[in-house]
């Protein structure tokens, strides 16, 4: 089965389609591109038990990440930051469900997180163009 169900990139404004394996961030119309996945295939393939049996890290969900093959996986030991309910603040704001993700627990500095995201897309040597 596929490591990722990544299909293509799509412009939400003009609906232009781009190859997900090519470097592209903005559509020619100026809109940021969205990543599209084959969600019907994901629904048929993945199940709760399969996900729960995997290590508790970002790569648990690799089918829904824009990485085509396991050899392109980059991990810096990230874990699963929980979403914590804010019941009293939610009530005060008249919100039924309000959650916070406490990134203060994250031990890595932001530049390492950005580097990990940039490397996700594989060894296409386009990271140097960002600097």
Read off the pLDDT of residues 100-112 as tens digits, 9 standing for 90 and up: 987 665 555 555 5
List, as one string, the DSSP characters of 52-74: HTS-SSGGGGGGGSS--SGGG--
Read off the pLDDT of residues 10-60 as tens digits, 9 standing for 90 and up: 999 999 999 998 888 999 999 999 999 999 999 999 999 999 999 988 899
Q: Cα separation of 92 and 94, whole Å?
A: 5
What global pTM score does this model have? 0.62
CA 84 to chain centre: 20
**Exposed e or buried b for every residue in 87-106, given b needs 16+ CB within 10 A?**
eeeeeeeeeeebeeeeeeee
pLDDT at position 129 is 47
Q: Tokens representing 15?
A: 């609906």
pLDDT band at residue 93 using 50, 70 and 90 as cut-offs: very high
Assign 131 to helix, strand or coil: coil
């Amino acid at each position: 089965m596929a490591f990722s169900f990544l299909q293509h990139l799509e412009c939400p404004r003009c609906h232009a389609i781009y190859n997900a394996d090519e470097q592209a961030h903005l559509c020619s119309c100026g809109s940021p591109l969205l990543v599209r996945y084959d969600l019907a295939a994901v629904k048929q393939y993945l199940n709760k038990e399969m996900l729960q049996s995997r290590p508790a890290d970002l790569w648990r969900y690799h089918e829904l990440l824009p990485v085509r093959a396991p050899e392109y996986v980059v991990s810096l030991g990230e874990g699963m930051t929980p979403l914590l309910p804010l019941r009293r603040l939610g009530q005060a704001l008249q919100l039924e469900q309000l959650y916070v993700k406490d990134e203060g627990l994250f031990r890595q500095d932001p530049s390492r997180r950005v580097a990990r995201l940039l490397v996700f897309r594989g060894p296409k040597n386009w990271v140097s163009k960002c600097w």
